[in-house]
Amino acid sequence: MSGPTPTPTPLPPPPAARPARYDFLNSKPPPNYVAGLGRGATGFTTRSDIGPARAAPDLPDRSASAAAAPAVGRGRGKPPGEDDGDDDGGDEEKGYDENQKFDEFEGNDAGLFSNADYDDDDREADAVWESIDQRMDSRRKDRREARLKQEIEKYRASNPKITEQFADLKRKLADLSAQVWESIPEIGDYSLRNKKKRFESFVPVPDTLLEKARQEQEHVTALDPKSRTAGGTETPWAQTPVTDLTAVGEGRGTVLSLKLDRLSDSVSGLTVVDPKGYLTDLKSMKITSDAEISDIKKARLLLKSVTQTNPKHPPGWIAAARLEEIAGKLQAARQLIQRGCEECPKNEDVWLEACRLASPDEAKAVIARGVMSIPNSVKLWLQAAKLETSDLNRSRVLRKGLEHIPDSVRLWKAVVELANEEDARLLLHRAVECCPLHIELWLALARLETYDQARKVLNKAREKLPKEPAIWITAAKLEEANGNTQSVSKVIERCIRSLQREGMDIDREAWLKEAEAAERAGSVLTCQAIVKNTIGIGVDDEDRKRTWVADAEECKKRGSIETARAIYAHALTVFLTKKGIWLKAAQLEKSHGTRESLDALLKKAVNYNPRAEVLWLMAAKEKWLAGDVPAARAILQEAYAAIPNSEEIWLAAFKLEFENNEPERARMLLSKARERGGTERVWMKSAIVERELGNVNEERRLLEEGLKLFPSFFKLWLMLGQMEDRLGHGAKAKEVYENGLKRCPSCIPLWLSLASLEEKISGLSKSRAVLTMARKKNPATPELWLAAIRAELRHANKKEADSLLAKALQECPTSGILWAASIEMAPRPQRKGKSSDAIKRCDHDPHVIATVSKLFWLERKVDKARTWLNRAVTLAPDIGDFWALYYKFELQHGNTDTQKDVLKRCVAAEPKHGEKWQAISKAVENSHLSVEALLKKAVVALDADETLNAVGA
């Protein structure tokens, strides 16, 4: 709607007589008549048709009312009588007002309707259009707000604020320690560099200043009358004002030098210089400030008030004496504490303080007066013994004290420690009479006595202390030490019963700790007896197995092997048929026991669990490792008799014969196993034996028959394909692999073998097609991606290899072997960054860790490389390639001990996997080699690969 239409002038009333139907065609139209306006058939006028918007002049035929009162509507017309303030009448000449306000809705066209009326129709039309606008606006509101929000976010992302750019760094500031924050250097003010140095002038020092400094540094060596009256023990502060701290420090040094010069008559470090001489007490210069002097004076007044108002209060005298000591007035301190001893003669703390402050010669006299005043004070007698220089005099003092205090355990212990063995025994006899309730004295006496006397002593101790378990445990240790093994268990049993009769609570955990303590003391039988009699106390029947196994493992971690062995032994008496406990006990014996103890345990285990395959196999293996092959055969025969249809025992017997170069025996065993319906593993082992013996036709027959019985066992397909490839029958090998993949489409080794064969026969393009098909059927498989990457690298397609590696990492972002390949393929400056990314993605992957160790190795960071290689073999001890890398590193940078350690750990781990390790260990010529020999061959293979890579580079 372009604007409101002008309202036409009302028509005159019709004549009374109705004219002819078409007479109006000949009559004059009324003013402002527009044909077709009533039925809406009107044209439109554009701005270009009428020119600039001007106010239309008043029409001559306008009605009087309209001319008299022009309406003011949306055209912004002026009411009559309103003056615009312009005297020149320029607006009238132009036909419009230049100062009128611009209309946002109609623009400058508002002048067209400046004189139009704004009636109800216009108001209603505007209301309708406004409701339409609101309706349309509400429909687009959500979309508009979303678009606006998106534009704002896009703008903020492209134009971030400084605070937003460093927001993550600010958050990390919360983790900074105080030390790191303090170590951040200050920015400093570098503007001073460009400033000109000010002119500095130097003037001579006045003579008065030099004279004052000389006077301050002088040292007076004569006493003034005031100091002489004080006896030379105090320094008059009024005469020597301390104004220069440097002078005070130099004065102290001079005092020290004078003291050292005069100590020429020192005897055993004790000065004999006259204590009343001037400048002989170093503490005379200790107070250096007026504040300290004021504080000491206040404290002195306060403590003086305390001692005067309450002279019988010992802490007041002690505090006053220590204050004088701090102030450097040792003589005054001694005098105060002496008065304290006189006022409080029955307080041992005052006498001890007096002894401390007294000189070495006077200390004995002071402590003597103290023990005379308080003869029952243990502290004073012990202090008196400390002041003596010889053990004989100390012993005399302590015995004198025991005459006054016969029930003091501390005095008895001190005097026994100073005596020899015979005197100690006599003293302890007297001690236990005086202190019958102290167990340490009883136990010490029992240790010094003979066997018979010790038993009597312990019996007396049990009578005096019936609730003390340590006496019973000591009695059990005594019986064990004297060879009475049968009595040990009886003593502990009687102990438990006696304590329970006395109402004592038997704490199982505490008794286990006692058992561990007995083990550490070498009393193994006592340890076993304690475990046997206390391990089941307070444990429910259904929780016994779990609790006892947990106790044994905890003791094993703490190094208490005998305690753990005793727990397992007791558990096996209760749970004879529990295979898990027998295995854990066997593992304990294997790691901490002897071969004999392990054999005995396993023999008992198979007797009580004849259907447990793992126990039979473990027993046979231990005999085999000990070199006793006939005994191992006998054990396996017994196992076969107990479990006739056990495939594991058949295969163990085969391995025993095969590894000991008895192929005919192995073949016979496998033939019997096949006849009795052996599984696919039996057929595979049979083919391995024939391959070892070189019987190609028999090997092919066994593999083909096995595949008829077990078509989905991929190892048989692999062995058949490898055999054909080894014989040079490439087409047959390809056919075997393809048939195998039809049955086992998800077998990655079959795909890799087929791709390798195609690369050897038909070239890279065919191999690439095979690997692509394999990746489609087995997505997210890192081994297939790695094979494709290596194939491209072998043909010098570095760009294609990089592209494949990028795709592989997108599909398998946490694959360790792919990240390891990425690190090795990266240029040397970028390897560090690649290593950081790999560790973030797969921190505990052994392939990444081994590759990072190679980088440290190349950079000659030997310690770091050794640490990372050790971490790799710890995470994956079953991968032989890492052991070979570790051993090679030690051969270059280690010593004999580290090399032996790596070799020993590798033999114990018995690795079975690894790309190079499997290729070496499964070769026909290496089938009977030991782990040590295989490790050395793997090291040689690594050297060959490095040489080849160096030539290719």
The share of the chain scoring above pLDDT 90, in percent, equals 17
How large is the average pLDDT for residues 440-465? 78
**For residue 429, what are its two tokens?**
């006899």
Q: How many CB atoms lie within 10 A of CB 679?
A: 15
Question: Confidence class of residue 93 from pLDDT cuts 50, 70 and 90?
Answer: very low
Q: Is pLDDT at 911 greater than 90 in this prediction?
A: yes
How large is the average pLDDT for residues 82-104? 48
**CB-based burial of residue 853 (10 Å sphere; 0-12 exposed, 13-18 middle, 19+ buried)?**
buried
pLDDT for res 315: 87
d(CA 128, CA 125): 5
How large is the average pLDDT for residues 872-890? 93
Q: Is pLDDT at 325 greater than 80 in this prediction?
A: yes
Question: Confidence class of residue 81 from pLDDT cuts 50, 70 and 90?
Answer: very low
* Cα 500 → chain centroid: 47
How large is the average pLDDT for residues 172-182? 80
Residue, of 715 and 389, whose pLDDT is higher: 715
How large is the average pLDDT for residues 945-952? 64
pLDDT for res 653: 81
Q: Is pLDDT at 131 greater than 60 in this prediction?
A: yes
How large is the average pLDDT for residues 943-951? 69
pLDDT for res 790: 92
Q: Is pLDDT at 440 greater than 80 in this prediction?
A: no
Question: Confidence class of residue 652 from pLDDT cuts 50, 70 and 90?
Answer: confident
Q: What are phi and psi of 42, to 5 degrees?
A: -120, 150
Q: Is pLDDT at 78 greater than 70 in this prediction?
A: no
Determine the CATH number of domain 289-437.
1.25.40.10
pLDDT for res 265: 42
d(CA 562, CA 527): 8
Q: Is pLDDT at 780 greater than 80 in this prediction?
A: yes
pLDDT for res 72: 42
d(CA 371, CA 367): 6
Q: Is pLDDT at 889 greater than 90 in this prediction?
A: yes
pLDDT for res 422: 78
Q: Is pLDDT at 46 greater than 70 in this prediction?
A: no
Q: What is the pLDDT of residues 527-574, one digit of tens each?
A: 988 888 888 888 888 888 889 989 899 998 988 899 999 999 888 888
Per-position DSSP letters for 126-137, written without gaps between them: HHHHHHHHHHHH
Question: Confidence class of residue 819 from pLDDT cuts 50, 70 and 90?
Answer: very high
Question: Confidence class of residue 849 from pLDDT cuts 50, 70 and 90?
Answer: very high
Residue, of 772 and 95, whose pLDDT is higher: 772
Highest mean pLDDT among 12-16, 789-793, 946-950: 789-793
pLDDT for res 282: 37
Q: What is the pLDDT of residues 613-635, one digit of tens each?
A: 888 888 888 888 788 888 888 88
pLDDT for res 212: 74
Highest mean pLDDT among 67-71, 248-252, 923-927: 923-927
pLDDT for res 61: 45
pLDDT for res 781: 92
d(CA 55, CA 569): 120
Q: What is the pLDDT of residues 593-608, one digit of tens each?
A: 888 888 888 888 888 8
Q: Is pLDDT at 815 greater than 60 in this prediction?
A: yes
d(CA 733, CA 754): 8
Which residue, among 510, 509, 527, has the nearest Cα to 518 in the 3D structure? 527
pLDDT for res 683: 86
pLDDT for res 789: 93
List, in sequence order, every residue forming a beta bridge with 270; answer none if it has no partner.
Answer: 267
pLDDT for res 99: 54
pTM of the full structure: 0.53
How large is the average pLDDT for residues 378-401? 83
Question: Confidence class of residue 240 from pLDDT cuts 50, 70 and 90?
Answer: very low
Q: Mean pLDDT across the chain, nearest whole number? A: 78
Residue 119 DSSP code: -
Q: Is pLDDT at 241 greater than 50 in this prediction?
A: no
How large is the average pLDDT for residues 805-819? 93
Q: Is pLDDT at 292 greater than 80 in this prediction?
A: no
Residue, of 289 and 685, whose pLDDT is higher: 685
Q: Is pLDDT at 204 greater than 50 in this prediction?
A: yes
749: CB partners within 8 A, 6+ apart: 714, 718
pLDDT for res 291: 63
Q: Is pLDDT at 408 greater than 70 in this prediction?
A: yes
The share of the chain scoring above pLDDT 70, in percent, equals 78
d(CA 853, CA 21): 114
d(CA 397, CA 404): 11
pLDDT for res 297: 83
Q: What is the pLDDT of residues 490-527, one digit of tens each?
A: 888 888 888 888 877 788 888 889 888 888 888 888 89
Q: Is pLDDT at 885 greater than 60 in this prediction?
A: yes
Question: Confidence class of residue 433 from pLDDT cuts 50, 70 and 90?
Answer: confident
Question: Confidence class of residue 157 from pLDDT cuts 50, 70 and 90?
Answer: confident
3-state secondary structure of 879: strand
Q: Is pLDDT at 841 greater than 70 in this prediction?
A: yes
Residue, of 121 and 40, whose pLDDT is higher: 121
d(CA 710, CA 740): 11
Q: What is the SS3 string spanning 291-334? A: HHHHHHHHHHHHHHHHHHHCCCCHHHHHHHHHHHHHCCCHHHHH
What are the domain boundaries of the chain?
A: 289-437, 466-575, 877-952
pLDDT for res 23: 63
pLDDT for res 886: 94
79: CB partners within 8 A, 6+ apart: 70, 72
